[in-house]
Structure 1
Amino acid sequence: MRTPSRPAALVGQVFLGAGAVQAGLLTREQLRSSAWRRVLRGVYVDAALADHPEHRLRAVELLAPPTAVLAGRTAAWLHGVDTAWEEAHPVEVVVPPGARWGPVAGVRIRHARLAAGDVVRIGRRRVTSAVRTAADIARSGPPAETVPVLDPLLSRTGALVSDVWRAVGSGRGCADAREALTRVDQLAESPQESRVRLLLWAAGLRPVSQHVVVDAQGRFVARVDLAFPEQRVAVEYDGWWHAERGQFARDRRRLNALQAAGWRVLHVTAADLHDPTALIARLRALLAS
C-alpha cells in the first residue's frame, strides 16, 4: 500500500481541500487518503491530530464571511463553559441580514443584526458577548435544556440576570427564556446538578444550592450540592468522577461525617434522571421521615 502523501505545509493544519489541490500540494485522490480527515464540507484536518473543537471552529472560519460572529453554545464554550460543547451540536454562527452564506452541514447559521455591544473578541475571534450569548441560549429551547448551560455561563462571566432579561426582549422563545431566567442558579457546579435542581423545582421542592453543613460545634463538615436544611437532608449527584481511584474512600469518609452531624443523603445518578417520579417519591419519603 502506498504511503499517503503528507506535505509539510499541511502537517498539523486545518485547510481548504480545493486550495491544497490548486496549490499543487495534493491531488484530489491524495486528499481522500487516510492522511486527512474531513471536518466540514471542503475543509480537512491532519488526521494525525486528535479530534478537538478548535478544528471545527477553524474550519468554520475558513468558510464563513468576515462579518460572521460565533454565537449560542459555541460562544458559551469560548466564554469558558466546557460543558456547552457537544460533538453532535452544530457550530453556531450569526451573520448580518442579507449575507449570503450556507447552508453548511454541521453549522447553524442565523441571520440577525447585532449591536456593537453584542460582539466581543476572545483572542482573535468575534464572539457574542456573555449577555447576548445567554439571551440567545435562553431563547433556544425549554429551560430543562438551557438552564444547565446558563448556570455556568452566568457564573463564569459575571453576566447579570437582569441584563440578560432585558436582552431577551420579545418575540420567538421569550416565554421559555424568561422561565429559564427565573430558575438559573450560579452556584450550580455541574449540568447534572442543574438538571436535578430543575426536577425538584418542577415537583414544588425548593432546595438550597451548595449548602455548607457544620457540626454542633460549628465546624465545617461538608458542602452539599442541594440541601433541605430544616430536615437535614442533602441531595448529591454522583457522576463518573466518583469512580476515580481513591474517590470511593473519600466519599465514604464524607458520608460518615454528614451522618454524624445528623444529616441524611440521597444519592442521585444518571439513571435516576430517567425516572423522575421515583426519584421525587424517594426524596419526599426521606423529607417526611
Structure 2
Amino acid sequence: MLPYEAPLYFCGIPFTARQVGSKLRWLLGAGEIRAVLKGVYVDVRVPDSPELRASAFTLLVPPDAIACGRTAAWIHGIETTALGPSEQVNLQWTRDSDDTVEVAGVRVTSPVSTTVELAMQLPRPFALSAVDAMLRAGKADRWAVRAASTAYEGRPGIFQARQILYYADRRAESPGESWLRLRLLDAGFGRLNLQTRVRGPEREYRIDLAYPEPLEDGRRLGLEYDSDKWHSRPREEARDERRRNELAALGWHIISVRRTDLWGRYPALELAVGSYLSQQPRLPRRW
C-alpha cells in the first residue's frame, strides 16, 4: 500500500471501474481502493459516510433518480448486515416518491418512508433488523412509522410490515439480536426484555435478551448473541465463559447463541429455550 502521505486516488472522490481500466484489479489486490457499491470504488483512506455513499449512488443512476428501499437505508447510514445477506447493498431507485429528503444533494426517500418499505419488502429477519437499526440510529420514530404505514394499506407486504413494526425495538444493538428475538417470538415464547441490567457485587451486567420471570428452579433465563467478530478468539471465549459463570452465581441461566445457531434449520435453539420455560415451541419455524 502507498505511504499515507501519497495523494488520494481521484482526490478521494468515488470513481467507476472504467475510469481506471485494467489497473482496477491491481489496485484492489494491493489494498489501495475498496468497493463502495458494485462497480464504484474509493481510496481506502477515505472514511465511510452518508455523503460518500450518496456520491457513489449518483455514478450509477440517472440524474433524476431517487434512492429508495435498501439503498436509501444504506445512504441514511444503516449497515448492510442489517439489510440482507450480501455485503453489498442492492441498488434500488425510483422516480416516483413524494416523501423525500436530500443527503449530500441526492434525493432519498425519507427515513420514515424508507423504514416502512424495509418492513414490507425485506425477508422477515432482515426486515426486523433493518427497522430496529433505523430506530436505533434515531432516523425514524416507531410511532411515526406506524402512522405512516396506514398509507400503504392494500399493498403487497403490508401484513408483514404491521407485524414487524409491532415487534420493532430501538434497544436492539445488533442485527443478530434482532434475528434472535424474532426466532423466539415466532416460537411463541412471548415478548422479551432487551438490555436487561443485572447488578453484581462488583459490577453491572447487561443481558441482550431476557425472560425476567423466575423459572421453576428459581433462576431467570437470558440469551446473548455472540458475533464471530467479537467472540471467537480464545481470550474472548474465556472472558465470555467467566461472565456466564458470574451471572450463574447471580441466579441466571445464560444461553449463548452464534450465527450458525440462528440460520440452521434444526430447532435446537427453540427446544433449549422451551425446556427452560417449560413450554413447547411453535414449530416449524417461519424462516
Shift of 1:125: 2.7
CA distance in 1, matches of 2:9, 2:269: 56
CA distance in 2, matches of 1:61, 1:75: 12
1:74 aligns with 2:71: yes
Counterpart amino acid of residue 253 in structure 2: R
Cα pair distance change 1:59/1:261, threshold 3 Å: closer
Output aligned runs, 1:121-140, within 5 Å. 121-140=102-121
CA distance in 2, matches of 1:184, 1:251: 27
1:203 aligns with 2:184: no
Query: Bigger radius of gyration, 1 or 2?
Result: 1
Counterpart amino acid of residue 236 in structure 1: E
Cα pair distance change 1:207/1:154, threshold 3 Å: same
CA distance in 2, matches of 1:160, 1:60: 26
Shift of 1:283: 1.0
The DSSP-based 3-state class of the residue aligned with 1:77 is: helix
1:266 aligns with 2:263: no
The DSSP-based 3-state class of the residue aligned with 2:210 is: strand
Output aligned runs, 1:100-249, within 5 Å. 112=96, 114-115=97-98, 118-168=99-149, 169-170=152-153, 171-205=155-189, 206-215=191-200, 220-231=203-214, 232-240=220-228, 241-244=230-233, 246-249=235-238
The DSSP-based 3-state class of the residue aligned with 1:51 is: strand
The DSSP-based 3-state class of the residue aligned with 1:157 is: coil
CA distance in 2, matches of 1:228, 1:140: 30
Counterpart amino acid of residue 71 in structure 2: T
1:281 aligns with 2:271: yes
Is contact 2:78–2:133 with CA below 8 Å preserved after alignment?
yes
The DSSP-based 3-state class of the residue aligned with 2:125 is: helix
Shift of 1:255: 1.4
Counterpart amino acid of residue 228 in structure 1: Y
Cα pair distance change 1:224/1:150, threshold 3 Å: same
Is contact 1:212–1:220 with CA below 8 Å preserved after alignment?
no
Structure-2 residue corresponding to 1:103: none
Cα pair distance change 1:229/1:14, threshold 3 Å: same
Cα pair distance change 1:63/1:243, threshold 3 Å: closer
Gaps of 5+ in 2: 1-7, 42-52, 215-219, 280-287
CA distance in 2, matches of 1:190, 1:60: 25
Shift of 1:142: 4.1
- Give a deviation string over 1:33-79, Cα, whole Å, max 9, x none: 2x136xxxxxxxx9951223493755541342222122212221222
Is contact 1:154–1:160 with CA below 8 Å preserved after alignment?
yes
Give the TM-score normalised by structure 2. 0.73
Is contact 2:193–2:211 with CA below 8 Å preserved after alignment?
yes
Shift of 1:159: 1.5
Structure-2 residue corresponding to 1:107: none
Structure-1 residue corresponding to 2:240: 251
Cα pair distance change 1:77/1:212, threshold 3 Å: same
Give the TM-score normalised by structure 1. 0.72
Gaps of 5+ in 1: 1-7, 21-29, 38-45, 96-111
Is contact 1:221–1:257 with CA below 8 Å preserved after alignment?
no
Shift of 1:167: 2.4
Cα pair distance change 1:51/1:15, threshold 3 Å: closer
Counterpart amino acid of residue 158 in structure 2: C
Structure-2 residue corresponding to 1:92: 92
Higher normalized contact order (CA 8 Å, seq sep 6+, divided by chain length): 2
Is contact 1:73–1:84 with CA below 8 Å preserved after alignment?
no
CA distance in 2, matches of 1:255, 1:225: 13
Is contact 2:199–2:205 with CA below 8 Å preserved after alignment?
yes
Task: State the percentage of identical aligned residues.
Answer: 34
